[in-house]
Structure 1
Amino acid sequence: MASTVVSVHVSADHTFSKDPARAIELDEGIGVRGDAHAGTTVKHRSRVARDPDQPNLRQVHLIHRELFEELAADGHAVEPGQLGENITTAGIDLLSLPVGARLHIGDAVIVVTGLRNPCQQINDFQPGLLKRVLRKDDAGEVQRLTGVMGIVARSGTVRPSDPITVELPPEPHHPLAKV
């Protein structure tokens, strides 16, 4: 199956979920135009409180639609945009990408910086959901399943049905960690 964009979302306010859009504009070094998390420095409230001058490695949030299918099998109905992602994907294993992978989507390029670290707001959205998306595997390693974060390396428009092409960084590849 080809890797594609399922849907795109944006919210000008710091809301947990984001509203669907026909297209989103990505601005190089800034993020999603009109989104509360756009900017060169962090916009996530808890991160701003710690250090408002740290670089924004979370300009764009991507989640794979396949996660929603897994959650549905566990009794959690989650729709695209409800977990706050800007781009919902299909057919790409986002969580296995290395740091620095470049996602070519439409005429934009996003550089993957790390994993989204799910927080208590997910349980506020749906009780019990946090333990489904933040868990330990059989080896005792923490798994963060709520997608990846990235920065915009080239401006452009992203729309549903756009193909996604992955460009891996030079080796050695480094696994994603929370950002």
Structure 2
Amino acid sequence: MAISIRKLSIPDLIVVQPKRFGDSRGYFEETWNRRDFLTAGIAVDFVQDNHSLSEAKGTLRGMHFQTPPSAQDKLVRCTKGAIYDVAVDIRRGSPTYGAWAGVELSAQTGEQLFVPKGFAHGFVTLEPHTEVQYKCSDYYDPACDRSIRCDSLNIDWPLPVAPIISEKDAAAPPFDALMSPFDFGSDQ
């Protein structure tokens, strides 16, 4: 298998490490291989790829999710710079409801984070000019687009100063106002 996986403190969050083949010219790696992911227990068909550039260190994007019927699984990777990537369990009835887990992703390591449906997702940039790419299992649907205010979740963001956030993210409702459409144990 060309990938290895490890689970975070919330077991449904999976860090994926593709195998890199390097020499004096650089490296090659497969960042997505359906067969390898199926073997690792990740059975998802992705339909959309997204790419973001954050110019400044400390740019925080999140906490975002889409509701059913357009809920999304995501496979996130940092292709330039570094991020601290976070997912929050928003599945009602989950033993980890409201808990978060985070991992540093960088272009240097090539690790990826698999974030399943039922989690809010966000990241903060740790370096300037950081680029993030992620695969989604459903198309963007503005009618299903939701967010939670990032400062309402007690996330330990690795920042020495206040993050740079969008007006939309600053206006998001707090976690305690969330009426989650996700139930633990159901396939949404």
Same fold? TM cut 0.5:
no
Q: How does the TM-score come out when normalised to structure 2?
A: 0.25
Of the two, which has the highest radius of gyration?
2
Q: Which structure shows the bigger proportion of residues in strand conformation?
A: 2
Q: Which structure shows the bigger proportion of residues in helix conformation?
A: 1
